[in-house]
A and B are shown apart, each in its own frame.
Chain A
Amino acid sequence: MTDVHHSHDPIDLAPGEEDEGRIGPRLIGYVVGLGLAILLTATSFFVAGTDLVWQPSIPVAIIVLAIAQMGVHLVFFLHITTGADNTNNVLALAFGILIVVLVIGGSLWIMSNLNHNMMPMDQLMKMQR
């Protein structure tokens, strides 16, 4: 069993690989991950369709729930942890998140700024005539 899972050097873990070698705890990890993911998904579908919540808070709530669920997937399914054997994987992930945030945030920021500064479409059409 030990040589099955820990045949590699103990100081590093491949991404997606678990520190834990026994079946029981690994199984529980996946069950907990699935439970949390279903809970978060159900909450976001509920929040999207309900009148019980203050309406302007709904988009924020959906985005926060989505980020939380991505975290759950990363920890319980992809086994990205803060352990010393995972440093390389976490650093690569952090760089990826940086680029994703820059691309999405930057696009939204620039485009809303352009929209804000652009003349309304009907006036623009008049000028072209």
Chain B
Amino acid sequence: MSVTTMTQDLHQVRGLEVTDHPGPAPKRIVTAYGFWIFILSDMVMFSCFFAAFAVLSGETAGGPHGSELFNLKNVAIETGCLLLSSFTCGMASIAADVRNRLWFHVSMAVTCVLGLAFLFIEFREFADLVARGAGPSRSAFLSSFFTLVGCHGLHVSAGVLWLLTMMAQVFAKGFRADILRRILCFALFWHALDIIWVAVFSVVYLLGSAA
């Protein structure tokens, strides 16, 4: 078994030595890779908030528990908004790659509307919790809840602002190389937010109401 794999490996090694020294990577790869590192460190930051929430989720200080507070129907709608917006963001990436302005603007506008709908529902939920006396100062559980979910909400807000900026830049300047790099980074950011939301709705809402 090893003979064939070894010869293949040798070919690969020879290939690397002889032909593959292309010099520094193109700017598109360098930029996106740097942004990928940022996203991973953002996820490490979120993991600290998740760890804090997981440790503190039982410390309600006599206050309300998650199962009494959370409305899973709202969470399902929020999840649907973010999932669909991830999909339309993908459509915008394709449109940008084939330089189709109309489809780019349509998909980005739909993504924006879905993001805003998500933010609206989340804001209403927070306002409702505070009005019921379950604000962030009520218990350690609620402090960590508002920190974690609020931090994700802030990221989505920043994403919506970035999205509008990209629409404006494509409108004013077209699909220049630097703007295409920004669109690539924006798509990474938006899909990463969706991944974090998957962890949020599973750990915070579903496990929180089950417990």
What sequence of 0s and 1s flags, for each residue 86-101 of chain A, a beta carbon within 8 Å of any chain B beta carbon? 0011001101100110
Q: How large is the interface on B (under 10, 10 to 19, 20 to 34, 35 or more residues)?
A: 35 or more
Q: Does A16 contact B29, Cβ atoms closer than 8 Å?
A: no
Return the chain B residue nearest A58 by Cβ: B210
Q: Per DSSP, are chain B's interface residues mostly helix, strand or loop, or mixed?
A: helix
Report the nearest B residue to A21, measured CB to CB. B97
A interface secondary structure, majority: helix
Give residues 183-211 of B contacting A (CB, 8 Å): 184-185, 187-188, 191-192, 194-195, 198-199, 201-203, 206-207, 209-211
| Total inter-chain residue pairs, C-beta < 8 Å | 149
Interface size class, chain A? 35 or more
Name the residue of chain A whose CB is nearest to the CB of B50: A104
Is the CB–CB distance between A14 and B202 below 8 Å? Answer: no
Q: B-side interface residues toward A, CB under 8 Å?
A: 20, 22, 25-26, 28-29, 31-33, 35-37, 40-41, 43-44, 47-48, 50-52, 54-55, 72, 76, 79-80, 83-84, 86-87, 90-91, 93-94, 97-99, 184-185, 187-188, 191-192, 194-195, 198-199, 201-203, 206-207, 209-211
